[in-house]
Amino acid sequence: MTPTHAHAVPTELDVADRLLGLLRDTGTELRPDLQLEALTLAVAADLPVLLWGEPGIGKTAALTQLAEALELPLTTVIASVHEPSDFSGLPVIGDDPAEQGVPMAPPDWAVRLVRAGRGLLFLDELSTAPPAVQAALLRLVLERRVGALRLPPGVRIVAAANPRSSAADGWELSPPLANRFVHLRWVHDHEVVVRGLGGTWPRAALPRLVPERLAESVDFARRAVCGLLAARPGLVHRLPDGETRRGGAWPSPRSWEMTVRLVAFATAAGSSRDVLSLLVRGTVGDGPGLELLASMDRMDLPDPEVLLADPAAAVLPGRGDLRQAVLDGVVAAVRARPSRARWDAAWTLLVRALETGAPDVVVVPATTLASLRREDWEVPAAIERLAGVITLSRRADLVAADATRRADLAAANATPRPVR
Q: Give the residue with greater pLDDT, 45 vs 313.
A: 45
Residues in Cβ contact with 398 at an 8 Å cutoff, skipping those fewer than 6 apart: none
Query: Is pLDDT of 308 > 50?
Result: yes
In tens, the pLDDT along 328-373 reads 889 999 999 999 899 889 888 888 888 887 777 888 888 888 888 8
Average pLDDT over residues 83-87: 78
Tell me, what's the pLDDT at 375?
Answer: 83
Q: Answer yes or no: are the C-beta atoms of 330 and 309 closer than 8 Å.
A: no
In tens, the pLDDT along 135-191 reads 888 888 888 888 778 899 999 999 988 876 655 566 788 898 899 999 999 888 888
For 126, which DSSP code?
A: G
Domain boundaries, the chain: 31-91+103-203, 211-297, 304-406
38 Cα distance to chain centroid: 7
Closest CA to 239 of 175, 146, 144: 175
Average pLDDT over residues 110-137: 87
Tell me, what's the pLDDT at 379?
Answer: 76
Closest CA to 124 of 174, 90, 74: 74
Kindly state the helix (H) or strand (E) to which residue 153 belongs, with its residue range. none
Tell me, what's the pLDDT at 412?
Answer: 59
Query: Is pLDDT of 382 > 70?
Result: no
Tell me, what's the pLDDT at 99?
Answer: 60
Banded model confidence at residue 397, pLDDT cuts 50, 70, 90? very low
In tens, the pLDDT along 221-255 reads 999 999 899 888 999 999 988 877 888 999 999 99
Tell me, what's the pLDDT at 32?
Answer: 83
Range of 36-45, 85-94, 132-141 with top mean pLDDT: 36-45
Banded model confidence at residue 394, pLDDT cuts 50, 70, 90? very low
Average pLDDT over residues 310-316: 85
Banded model confidence at residue 98, pLDDT cuts 50, 70, 90? low
Q: What is the CATH number that goes with domain 31-91+103-203? A: 3.40.50.300
258 Cα distance to chain centroid: 12
Supply the mean pLDDT for the chain.
83
Tell me, what's the pLDDT at 242?
Answer: 80
Query: Is pLDDT of 19 > 80?
Result: yes
- φ, ψ of residue 239 in degrees (nearest 5): -80, 120
Is 415 strand, coil or helix?
Answer: coil
Report the C-alpha gap between 185 and 191 in whole angstroms.
Answer: 18
Q: What residues does 328 pair with on adjacent strands? A: none
Tell me, what's the pLDDT at 396?
Answer: 37
Q: What residues does 51 pair with on adjacent strands? A: 160, 184
